[in-house]
Amino acid sequence: MQRTDMQAGRVIGRLAPWVVGVLALAALWVWADRLLPGGDPAGIAVLGPDDCDLNLQACTAELPSGLRVSLDLQPRPMPTLQPLEVRLELTGQDPEWVELDLAGVEMYMGFNRSRLERVGPGSYRGETVLPVCASEAMTWAATVLPEGEQDRGEVQFRFLTRR
């Protein structure tokens, strides 16, 4: 009987580090997902091309927090590898400056963040360039970040570009 108890103890002794390791990895995953920037996009309102198409007009999002954001990118339709004029209007916030983060939805297109300067209360202007994509069409996510802080981002506009 003692021999069986000793074998069970050895098995548990061999498995214990693996169990602890798996639990530690799971805890790290949850921690990273909740605390690191971009971990939980559920708090960001997404305005898709079906709601408003930035290739046709300026788009406005009104959020439950009271924030109203209007984004206008020109020229239209949006070209790649050419300067785009960015106009942004905020109602409900008046930060000193705003960043517009442009990210590819289907594939990573590199870090592309432009600073928009305040030209009046709630009014911001700047310039950006969309990288060219090898695909025929590309979906972009334009996230508005007051003073460049990821956790202050409340709205994201999605739009398509075509070659």
Q: What is the pLDDT of residues 116-138, one digit of tens each?
A: 999 999 999 999 999 987 788 89
**Of residues 120, 103, 118, 112, the one with CA closest to residue 159:** 103
Is residue 79 domain-shared with residue 18, that is, in the same domain?
no
Give the pLDDT of residue 60.
Answer: 97
Confidence of residue 7 (pLDDT cuts 50, 70, 90): confident
41 CA to centre of own chain: 7
Domain tally, the chain: 2
CATH number for the domain harbouring residue 78: 2.60.40.10
Give the pLDDT of residue 14.
Answer: 76
Give the pLDDT of residue 97.
Answer: 95
Is residue 32 domain-shared with residue 46, that is, in the same domain?
no
Is residue 70 domain-shared with residue 129, that is, in the same domain?
yes
- Enter the DSSP assignment of 27: H
Is residue 28 domain-shared with residue 83, that is, in the same domain?
no
Domain containing 24 equals 1-36
Taking the whole predicted model, whether its pTM rises above 0.85 is answered as no
Is residue 47 domain-shared with residue 122, that is, in the same domain?
yes
Q: How far apart are CA 140 and CA 57, in angstroms?
A: 16
Confidence of residue 30 (pLDDT cuts 50, 70, 90): low
